[in-house]
Amino acid sequence: NAGVTQTPKFRVLKTGQSMTLLCAQDMNHEYMYWYRQDPGMGLRLIHYSVGEGTTAKGEVPDGYNVSRLKKQNFLLGLESAAPSQTSVYFCASSYSTVLHYGYTFGSGTRLTVV
């Protein structure tokens, strides 16, 4: 049982390049999320999805796009990377009733934009 799997684990991009981060979960969770973690800022929600084919903006959505074509996958895209997007990105998933189980997080993707 893999839980939440993020690929890649590390990536270095040049400014202006694009990339897609992949998140896959095998727990049949309805909800999926992308967070970024920066020093002194905690985790901030970028985008989230409450079901297949749906997406919504979180706290810091600018510069990112997402897609959820299949229930088990949630993709995060950077169209034109900027140094301000250097961060650790975490994907998470949950049932709709989150109180008793919380989110299940992936192990993170460390992205550096130079």
Cα separation, 86 vs 67, whole angstroms: 21
**Site membership for another protein, residue 50 (CB under 8 A):** yes
Token output for 75: 């993709």
Tell me the C-alpha distance between 47 and 35, whole Å: 8
Query: How far is Cα 2 from Cα 18, in angstroms, rounded to an integer?
Result: 27
Question: In the block, which residue shows the tokens 């973690």?
Answer: 37
Q: Does the protein bind another protein through residue 23 (CB under 8 A)?
A: no
Handedness of CA 43, 46, 49, 50 (dihedral sign): positive
Q: Which of 7, 84, 107, 112 binds another protein (CB under 8 A)?
A: 107
Looking at 53, 59, 112, 114, which residue binds another protein (CB under 8 A)?
A: 59
Only one of the segments 17-25, 53-61, 62-70, 71-79 lies at the binding site for another protein (rule: CB under 8 A); that segment is: 53-61
Radius of gyration of the chain (CA): 13
Residue closer to another protein, measured from CB, 86 or 110: 110
Which region, judged by CB under 8 A, interacts with another protein, from 14-22, 29-37, 64-72, 76-84? 29-37
Residues that bind another protein (CB under 8 A): 4, 31, 33, 35, 40-45, 48, 50, 56, 58-59, 90, 92, 94, 96, 98-108
